[in-house]
Amino acid sequence: MLNIKQTAKEFFTLIKLHVSHNWKIIAIVPSMAAITIPDVIELIRRQDTLTSNSTLHISIADNLIGAFVFGCIIYSVLATFNIYKRRTMVHSTLLLPTTNGLKFASEILCTAVIFPIYLFSIYAIIYQIVIAYTGVQNILVEKLMENGNVFIIPAIPYLIILFNSFMALMKSSLNWKIAITGILMCAALFTMIIPHVESYTNEAIVLVHYYHELYQSIRVCTNAVSINEALIWFIRLWVWTAPLVLYTWAYYRFKERTI
């Protein structure tokens, strides 16, 4: 029977390890995403102005949920990132002498609570800094759009996968199946995104941002008023999540044999 004090100590150490090993990479993505949030707000404002006189309806709760979803996505990316190192990283939790339940619980806690809060904190701070310095909420993203680079922003998680895939290929000891899958998934993503860049910008659709797209898709899917609407959003959801789903599938499919 596990001693409660020891169990608690192991659990908190696992959390500490997850956070200490991942904080840098987690910080990068929300920092970059935060730059885009003024644009999201501005786009909503424009859309609302065009269609009705409704007020800005993006709430803190929405953002928190968005950050949560985004956190989950990033954590999935991190999981795939870690797979490349798990074979050799002695600090991987895989072989730590603790119960599988504690390992699982600590991962879930990090994915569901700690990382989203952490992400959102950084996100909010940088958002404030951006507004404070620019004075204009959407200036940075407007610039990006002008240059036609907007697709880069939602693709950031995939860029990380792409980077890791190449890194994996560089190291001969790593599993090429995972690496190739990563590259194919990235290719699929870019194929999907690039043709839509123009329409996104022209129509000023709010969901140009990956995390927000995903969040909205889930939300609309579950609250759809008609089958057609649900179907459309389901397709959108699939388009946006398919690469990640497939990549995650590949990760778990090959995990046991790869580690």
Partner 1 sequence: MIKLKDLTAGYARRKPVLTKLNTELRTGQIYGLLGANGSGKTTLLYTISGCITPLAGEVEVLSVTPSSRSREMLQELIFMPDEVELPAISAESFVNDYSTFRPRFDKEKFQRILERFDFTHNLKLNKLSLGNRKKFFIAFALASNAKIVLFDEPTNGLDITSKVTFRQVLAEEINDERLFIISTHLVSDIEQLLSSIIVIKDKQIVVQASMDTVAERLTFGATASISQPLFSEGLRAVGKGEGDYSNVDLELLYLALHNPTSQQPIIDILSGKEELC
**Residue 88 interacts with partner 1 (CB under 8 A): yes or no:** yes
Contact indicator for 153, 210 with CB cutoff of 8 Å: yes
Q: Which of 51, 55, 59, 100 binds partner 1 (CB under 8 A)?
A: 100
CA 22, CA 116: separation in Å to the nearest integer?
A: 13
Evaluated on CA atoms 44, 47, 51, 53, the torsion sign reads positive
The alpha carbon of 152 is separated from its chain's Cα centroid by a whole number of angstroms, namely 14
Binding map of partner 1 across residues 173-212, x = CB under 8 A, - = no contact: x-x-------------------------------------
Q: Which of 1, 50, 61, 90 binds partner 1 (CB under 8 A)?
A: 90
CA distances from 32 to 84, 102, 127, 132 (A): 24, 32, 10, 16
Structure tokens at 221: 């899917």
Q: How far apart are the first and last CA of the chain?
A: 29
Applying CB under 8 A, the span of 30-38, 83-91, 117-125, 241-249 interacting with partner 1 comes to 83-91
Applying CB under 8 A, the span of 70-78, 81-89, 203-211, 230-238 interacting with partner 1 comes to 81-89
CA 11, CA 176: separation in Å to the nearest integer?
A: 33
Binding map of partner 1 across residues 138-177, x = CB under 8 A, - = no contact: -----------------------------------x-x--
**Residue 104 interacts with partner 1 (CB under 8 A): yes or no:** no
Q: Which of 46, 49, 91, 108 binds partner 1 (CB under 8 A)?
A: 91
CA 125, CA 31: separation in Å to the nearest integer?
A: 9
Counting beta carbons within 10 angstroms of the beta carbon of residue 168, is it exposed (0 to 12), middle (13 to 18) or buried (19 or more)?
buried
* Ramachandran sector of residue 49 (left: φ over 0; alpha: ψ -120 to 50; beta: rest): alpha
Binding map of partner 1 across residues 6-45, x = CB under 8 A, - = no contact: x--xx--x--xx--xx------------------------
Q: How far is the CB of 159 from partner 1 (least distance, A)?
A: 23
Applying CB under 8 A, the span of 63-71, 98-106, 141-149, 180-188 interacting with partner 1 comes to 98-106
User: CB neighbours of 91 closer than 8 A, spacing ≥ 6?
Assistant: 17, 21
Q: How far is the CB of 20 from partner 1 (least distance, A)?
A: 7
Applying CB under 8 A, the span of 5-13, 32-40, 41-49, 226-234 interacting with partner 1 comes to 5-13
List contacts with partner 1 (CB under 8 A).
Answer: 6, 9-10, 13, 16-17, 20-21, 85, 87-91, 94-100, 173, 175, 256-259
